[in-house]
Structure 1
Amino acid sequence: MTDTGPVTRDVLQTFEDVRSRLFARVEGLTDAEYLWEPVPDCMTLRADGDGVFRADPRSDPEPVPAPVTTIGWRIWHIGADCLRGYGRFFTGEAPTDVHIWPGAAKEGIEKLAEDWALFIAQVESLGDERLLQPMGELGGPFGHESYLLLALHALDEVAHHGAEIGVLRDLYLHGYVSEG
């Protein structure tokens, strides 16, 4: 086992603080909340002809202002797009179809927990020495950046989008439900 060291421990503790806050906020989340569209034309999770749910892809370039997204889309973004997607910097392999995601709240939260645990294990496995070094070839165009910077970027993503999930949930729970 890798001796994590103080930097890795602090990063992991901060991730745990953010994780516990986010998972407390989605406790009891209903399917209606998960896919609630507070404004028209939200980015969300949609079932295809085979009943498989997929996250709406982002536009390139992204429109201004950026589209509003559902709680389900944000949970997907944190889990698959960010945490699982960043796994390529540890393994060199891009995940397969990251747009596939559960269309129900309970399963979406469970999938987020799996992606979270995998990312944390990948960061923890580095230890301080490797965490502070450049990613190298696995990092592609970001190879000159450290794994610490990758972890901090992921932390920024999950904290930022986790807070947005909290706001969307508050709006829903306080009765701001649009008529469509």
Structure 2
Amino acid sequence: MATPPRLIPLLQQFDFARGRLADRMTGPVMDSGNGTDVEVVSMTDEEYLWEPVPGCWSVRRRAAGPGPGATVLVGAGDWGRDSTQPPHPAPPPFTTLAWRLSHLSELLALRADHTNGSHALTRDDYVVAGDAAGAIAAFDSAATAWREALLGADDAALDTVGHSTYPHGSDPEDPFIETVWWVNQELLHHGAEIALIRDLFRARRG
């Protein structure tokens, strides 16, 4: 199936942002933005779980229970991500690199499932990674699944309200083209946050 012309720039933007974040997390080099390669050290478990300020939300061993201000650990497996039932705290707590990467990967994986999969997966089904390598692999898998969902969308699907039935957003009320745009901005802004936390972790060691 041919890719609808109006989807092409959004798909290109997704691919660029995905590749840049992957390089930023694993190296060995990344594009600085002006075509110059910058050396990158792959993320460690210490960095993945680093809490820059007191009271962070993060991913934690399920046996340890939720962190400060959280009431539940969402996800499946031995690890979970700090959260609460709505309404969420205001102002929101600062979240670790692990929390942000887990959140990003989960929303990609679940939206893929609710677009061209079972339409049944929930946050309780998503396995939260407790280590950097596992989290990076989960991101790659989730991003691949979402990209495949995009490639399965024709012009009619792009205009269909509720083509994605993802239950944790406005997807059921939105034309799919708006969901595609929204996912791109999620990837762009969480990718930037992850990059900044990497910079702060490096800077704290001089």
TM-score normalised to structure 1 length = 0.86
Q: Secondary structure at the match of 1:56?
A: strand
- SS of the equivalent of 1:61 reads coil
Please name the residue that 1:83 is paired with: 108
Counterpart position of 1:122: 149
Q: Which of 114, 134, 143 in structure 2 is aligned with 1:107?
A: 134
Following superposition, the deviation at residue 83 of structure 1 comes to 0.9
Are 1:26 and 2:25 counterparts? Answer: yes
Partner of 1:160: 189
Cα distance, 1:104–1:65 mapped onto 2, change above 3 Å:
same
**Which digits, 9 at most, give the CA deviation of each residue in 1:22-69, with x for residues without a partner?**
111111001011000001111111012398111112452222221111
Paired with 1:84 and 1:31, the residues of 2 have a C-alpha distance of: 22
Count of matched residue positions in the alignment of Structure 1 and Structure 2: 175
* Aligned amino acid, residue 133 of structure 2: K
Higher-strand-fraction structure: 2
- Structure with greater helix share of residues: 1
- 2:163 & 2:182 partners in 1: Cα distance? 17
Of residues 41-50 and 85-94 in structure 1, the stretch that sits farther from structure 2 once superposed is 85-94
Code of the aligned partner of 1:163: A
After superposition, the CA RMSD in angstroms is 2.4
Distance in 2 (CA, whole Å) between partners of 1:158 and 1:105 is 18
Show CA shifts across 1:94-119 (max 9, x none).
34624531110011000111011001
1:54 match: secondary structure:
strand
Contact 2:171 2:179 in 1 (8 A): no
From 26, 31, 45, give the equivalent of 2:59. 45
Structure 1 stretches lacking a partner, 5+ long: none
Contact 2:115-2:163 at 8 Å conserved across structures: no
Task: Return the TM-score normalized by structure 2.
Answer: 0.76
Conserved? CA contact 1:55–1:73, under 8 Å = yes
Structure-2 separation of matches of 1:137 and 1:77: 18
Asked if the contact 2:110/2:166 (under 8 Å) is kept, the reply is no
Distance in 1, matches of 2:174 and 2:127, equals 29
- Bigger relative contact order, structure 1 or 2 (CA pairs below 8 A, ≥6 apart): 1
Q: Aligned equivalents of 2:57 and 2:126: distance in 1?
A: 12
Q: Which runs of 5+ in 2 are unaligned?
A: 27-41, 65-76
Q: 2:160 aligns with which of 118, 133, 137?
A: 133
Structure 1 match to 2:86: 60
Superposition misfits of 4+ residues, deviation over 6 angstroms: none
Q: Which moved more, 1:109-118 or 1:83-92?
A: 83-92
